[in-house]
Amino acid sequence: MATPGTREEVEQTTHTILESAKSHCESRGTRLTEKRRQVLAGLLDSKRALSAYELTDYCRDELGYPLQAMSVYRILEFLEQENLVHRLNLAKKYVACSHIVCSHEHELPQFLICKSCFKVEEITIERKTMTSLNNSVEAVGFNLASHQLEFDCLCVDCDD
């Protein structure tokens, strides 16, 4: 984590996080239904990025009933709108936001994705680094479409 030791970084059980997610939705007038809650729980439990189809497997195996891919995609879309999960384009997988229990705003996250085990870290890049990057991009007439950058990485466990 970027700032270990702060209150927002203390260990949170899946249950606690799900409660936060529920209030988050209620305050926005949306509903964290049972199935949405279960998809989010799957992502939280796995502690890594999962594909939509891996989540259908999770539901079948862990919850004892099937949740078809179409439904999972819709639920992931909802959770992403609620800022509870992030979609990772590079990995084509989805990951629970690591800041669900925090109430305050965060900088836009950058994602480090282990291309082997799909563990994900959300980091915040120094502002001046982002500025420098932006300058390089704008110098050739482009604009960053998203500031949620994704980086293919290897984590310590998977690196040889």
Partner DNA sequence: GATCAGGTGTTACGTTATAACATTAGCGTG
Partner DNA sequence: CACGCTAATGTTATAACGTAACACCTGATC
Instruction: Give me the residues that bind a copy of itself (CB under 8 A), please.
Output: 1-2, 89-90, 110, 112, 114-115, 121, 123, 125-126, 128-129, 132-133, 136-137, 139-146, 149-156, 159
CA distances from 132 to 104, 110, 143, 145 (A): 27, 16, 13, 16
CB 121, min distance to a copy of itself, A: 5
**Closest CB to a copy of itself among 19 and 80?**
80
Between residues 49 and 100, which has the closer beta carbon with respect to DNA? 49
Which helix (H) or strand (E) covers residue 112, if one does? strand 110-114
Q: Give the H/E segment covering residue 56.
A: helix 52-58
- Report, in Å, the least distance between residue 101 CB and a copy of itself: 19
Report residue 68 as tokens.
Answer: 């078809």
How near is the Cβ of 86 to a copy of itself at its closest, in Å?
14
- Residue with Cβ nearer a copy of itself (82 or 150): 150
What is the sign, positive or negative, of the torsion defined by CA atoms of 56, 83, 48, 21?
Answer: negative
Question: In whole angstroms, what is the distance from residue 50 CA to residue 42 CA?
Answer: 9
Give the whole-angstrom CA distance, residue 13 versus residue 44: 9
- Residue 121, classed as helix, strand or coil, is strand
Residue 112 binds which entry of DNA, a copy of itself, none, CB below 5-8 Å type-dependent = a copy of itself
Q: Collapsing DSSP states into helix, strand and coil, what is residue 93? A: strand
Nearest CB to DNA, comparing residues 6 and 81: 81
Q: Which residues lie near DNA (CB under 7 A)?
A: 30-31, 33-36, 51-54, 67-71, 73-75, 78, 92-93
